[in-house]
Amino acid sequence: MKKIIGKQRTLKYFEEALSRKTFSHLYILEGPKGIGKKTLAAHIAAMVHCRAEGVRPCGVCDSCVKHGAGSHPDLSMVENADADKKSIGVETVRGVMSEIYVKPLLSDNKIYIFPTAEILSTSAQNALLKVLEEPPSYAVIILLVSDASALLPTVKSRGILFPIEPCTREETISFVEENFDSDKAAMIADFSGGILGAAKEMSREEAFFDIRRRFYDVLTDVGKNRANQFKIVSFFEAEKASRQLLFDLFISWLRDALFIKTTGGNTLINYDYNAEIHSFASDMSCNAALAAAAHAVEYSGSIGAGSNLGLWIADFTIKCFDD
């Protein structure tokens, strides 16, 4: 079983619920991709099924061994049964829920984890709702979502919502140093925002640092001469496959520029580009820096797969730098 880093508030709740034997039938764990929802849900399931009297999960009892091997009969991971479909259909939920009324084999509870509950179709959620209206006493369902608004209000009202908090900067630095021996642990911790999945990808992928270096070279040129703004458009066009990463990098850069304008820039995420970002921000007003960061966030969340990226970025640069 994987070690849980952080998440102490949520773990404390489940530890207390376990000691009081007051489990709900539905829990909703909400947080961005990579924050550790699936790992946390599996840990909670192992905690519930563990046979030890002390700290749970103990990792050595028969139940914990089965959890570690992914073979516990009273735990089900409900995935999309049809990979060609973008949503989990009602047939999948009906199939799973038909067996929920069969009593658990080894423990007191049957646990169903939906790792991608945000793609449950409306009909699938309604099928799930029928079970939640009169669930068997031993059933526990855990829905994992990036945004709980993807769930029907009637489903959400049946459960307990837990927004999963990111790890602290110190926890993230420790995770990176222990697992990847990276000399950029502090920068990775700041850029990942405490989301360990993102920190793991950055630590493993040299491609991340390569595209970061090349994109920041472009932004450095823009800082030296605003006439080089077209290079941003060209870079986004050339690296379409990495556009979300580029927006994340751009937002990080603009966040640092804004910090420089408002605080002097003593706590930059991209501290290795301190001089370049100071130059970039030198002839921007605070309002322009704030507008640039806001537009980057807005555009990042609104560009779809079929969007004309060139027009979006051209419009973006005009709005951000026409101060």
Kindly report the CATH number assigned to the domain that includes residue 134: 3.40.50.300
* Mean pLDDT along residues 264-281: 84
Distance, in Å, from the CA atom of 232 to the CA atom of 284, rounded to the nearest integer, reads 17
Of 163, 184, 215, which closes a domain?
Answer: 163
Distance, in Å, from the CA atom of 128 to the CA atom of 130, rounded to the nearest integer, reads 5
Kindly state whether residue 168 falls inside one of the protein's structural domains: no
Is the predicted pLDDT of residue 195 greater than 70, yes or no? yes
Instruction: State the pTM of this model.
Output: 0.78
* Mean pLDDT along residues 205-222: 88
Is the predicted pLDDT of residue 110 greater than 90, yes or no? yes
User: Within this chain, do residues 30 and 136 fall inside the same structural domain, yes or no?
Assistant: yes
User: Within this chain, do residues 155 and 39 fall inside the same structural domain, yes or no?
Assistant: yes
Is the predicted pLDDT of residue 84 greater than 80, yes or no? no
Kindly state whether residue 27 falls inside one of the protein's structural domains: yes
Encode pLDDT of 223-272 as tens digits: 888 778 788 888 988 888 887 788 888 888 988 988 888 887 667 888 88
Kindly state whether residue 197 falls inside one of the protein's structural domains: no
Question: What burial class does residue 282 get, using C-beta atoms within 10 Å of its C-beta: 0-12 exposed, 13-18 middle, 19+ buried?
Answer: exposed
Average predicted confidence (pLDDT) for the chain = 86
Domain membership of residue 93 as a residue range: 8-163
Kindly state whether residue 304 falls inside one of the protein's structural domains: yes
Is the predicted pLDDT of residue 305 greater than 70, yes or no? no
User: Within this chain, do residues 155 and 227 fall inside the same structural domain, yes or no?
Assistant: no
Kindly state whether residue 177 falls inside one of the protein's structural domains: no
User: Within this chain, do residues 261 and 311 fall inside the same structural domain, yes or no?
Assistant: yes
Is the predicted pLDDT of residue 83 greater than 90, yes or no? no
Q: What percent of the chain has pLDDT over 90?
A: 46
Task: Tell how strand 75-77 and strand 160-163 pair up.
Answer: unpaired
- The CATH number covering residue 209 comes to 1.20.272
Of 111, 139, 163, which closes a domain?
Answer: 163
* Mean pLDDT along residues 171-176: 92
User: Within this chain, do residues 159 and 211 fall inside the same structural domain, yes or no?
Assistant: no
Distance, in Å, from the CA atom of 107 to the CA atom of 63, rounded to the nearest integer, reads 8
User: Within this chain, do residues 147 and 214 fall inside the same structural domain, yes or no?
Assistant: no
Residue 75's φ and ψ, nearest 5 degrees, are -125, 130
Kindly state whether residue 182 falls inside one of the protein's structural domains: no
User: Within this chain, do residues 265 and 151 fall inside the same structural domain, yes or no?
Assistant: no
Encode pLDDT of 119-165 as tens digits: 999 999 999 999 999 999 999 999 999 999 999 999 999 999 999 99
Distance, in Å, from the CA atom of 148 to the CA atom of 109, rounded to the nearest integer, reads 25
User: Within this chain, do residues 15 and 159 fall inside the same structural domain, yes or no?
Assistant: yes
Looking at the 3D structure of the chain, how many domains does it have? 2
Kindly state whether residue 44 falls inside one of the protein's structural domains: yes
The token pair that represents 37 in the structure block: 């929802």
Is the predicted pLDDT of residue 313 greater than 80, yes or no? no
Of 140, 163, 186, which closes a domain?
Answer: 163
Question: What burial class does residue 90 get, using C-beta atoms within 10 Å of its C-beta: 0-12 exposed, 13-18 middle, 19+ buried?
Answer: middle
Residue-wise over 147-167: b if at least 16 C-beta within 10 A, else e? ebebbeeebbebbeebebebb
Reported confidence tier of residue 289, pLDDT bands at 50, 70, 90: confident
User: Within this chain, do residues 25 and 159 fall inside the same structural domain, yes or no?
Assistant: yes
Question: What is the pLDDT, as a whole number, of residue 293?
Answer: 78
User: Within this chain, do residues 150 and 226 fall inside the same structural domain, yes or no?
Assistant: no
